Each structure stands twice: as C-alpha cells, then as structure tokens.
Amino acid sequence: MKQSTGEMAMFYRDYTGATNGVPTALMRLSADGAIRITPNSACADFLNPQTGVALFSTYSMKSYDHLHNRKLGVVGEAPPGLTSTEISLEADKPVVISYTRNWTHRGTGYICQVHRGLTPDTDAQYHVVAEPIFAEGQCAVMVTRLSAPQGPVPTLPARLCGAP
C-alpha cells in the first residue's frame, strides 16, 4: 500500500509537550522501543497534529537523539539500560501513551503495540517504563506516580481512534 507524505509524517512528528501557561504534570519515559503521546484524547490518534514521538530507541530513518535525556525536573533517576527522557503533559486532561516494539525471538517475529490512557494530576510527577518481555512475546507498560501519593497508577486500555 502506498503512503502519502502526510501519512508518513504523522508517525515521525515530535511530541512538543504541554502548551505554556496551562497546568502541567511531568513524566519520565524509559523504554526499549518507541513511545508516542496523544494529548487531550482517550484514544491513540496519529492524525492529531498534537500527537508525536516522545522517545524512539530502536532503528529509525529519522534520528530522535534530540528528544532523549531531556531533564525537566522529575525526581529520582532513570533506570540503567533503557533510553529515557522527560516530558510535560497538560494536567487534568486525558492522555494516551502508545508503546511500540518489534523483535525476533527464536525465529519468530513479534510486533507489540500497546495503548494506555490516564489523566495526569496538576503538578504531579510520573514515571513510565515500557519494555518487551521477549520470551513471552508481550510488552509491559507500567506507570508509577513519583509525587505524593506515590505508587502504581492504574491505566486504561485505549484503542486507535476510529477502531472498532
């Protein structure tokens, strides 16, 4: 299938973060793979001009090094062995985190795409760890709140916008 330049561009657009002057939350992303952010939505919408790549640690035709290792003031340290960055999100609005990773294990190819939704609180800090579980052919996306009250954050499964 042919793809238009516009369709291709939507997958490579950078996530720019929350608009200045709005209440925000901070989030550290740590992953082996690609993370895209769809703000102000309960579904992953790659056609939305606000949706963009926040982290891309695997091979790509475009370099995403300029997005990695950003420090916006999230407490604690990034875990070793994963690519990490920090982003701002508009607080009190739904956001979808989309994680994608492809790999081969024992001759079998795997494609993992996970969409998880949450609504970050004003001035809260979060940490997302997303990585493949190679031997099981699955991916894990875990969100932890780093500011009080600390602990795991329940997320909702999200779909692609327009998907049944």
Number of domains, the chain = 1
CA neighbours within 13 Å on the CB side: how many for 160?
7
CB neighbours of 107 closer than 8 A, spacing ≥ 6?
none
C-alpha dist (Å) from residue 160 to 47, 69, 96, 116, 147? 10, 28, 10, 11, 30
- pLDDT, tens digit, for every residue of 48-88? 899 999 999 987 777 788 889 999 999 999 999 999 999 99
Is 71 within 8 Å of 87 (Cβ atoms)?
A: no
- Report the alpha-carbon distance of residue 56 to residue 80 in Å, rounded: 16
Judge whether 164 lies within some domain.
Answer: no
Judge whether 65 lies within some domain.
Answer: yes
- pLDDT, tens digit, for every residue of 104-120? 877 888 899 999 999 99
Judge whether 163 lies within some domain.
Answer: no
- pLDDT, tens digit, for every residue of 126-137? 999 999 988 788
Q: Is pTM beyond 0.95 here? A: no
Judge whether 77 lies within some domain.
Answer: yes
- pLDDT, tens digit, for every residue of 12-50? 789 999 989 999 999 999 999 999 999 999 999 988 899
Secondary structure class of 52 (helix, strand, coil): strand
Judge whether 17 lies within some domain.
Answer: yes
- Report the alpha-carbon distance of residue 57 to residue 79 in Å, rounded: 14
Q: How confident is the model at residue 4 (pLDDT cuts 50, 70, 90)?
A: very low
Judge whether 162 lies within some domain.
Answer: no
Range of the domain at 32: 5-157
Q: What pLDDT was estimated at residue 11?
A: 63
Judge whether 139 lies within some domain.
Answer: yes
Judge whether 13 lies within some domain.
Answer: yes
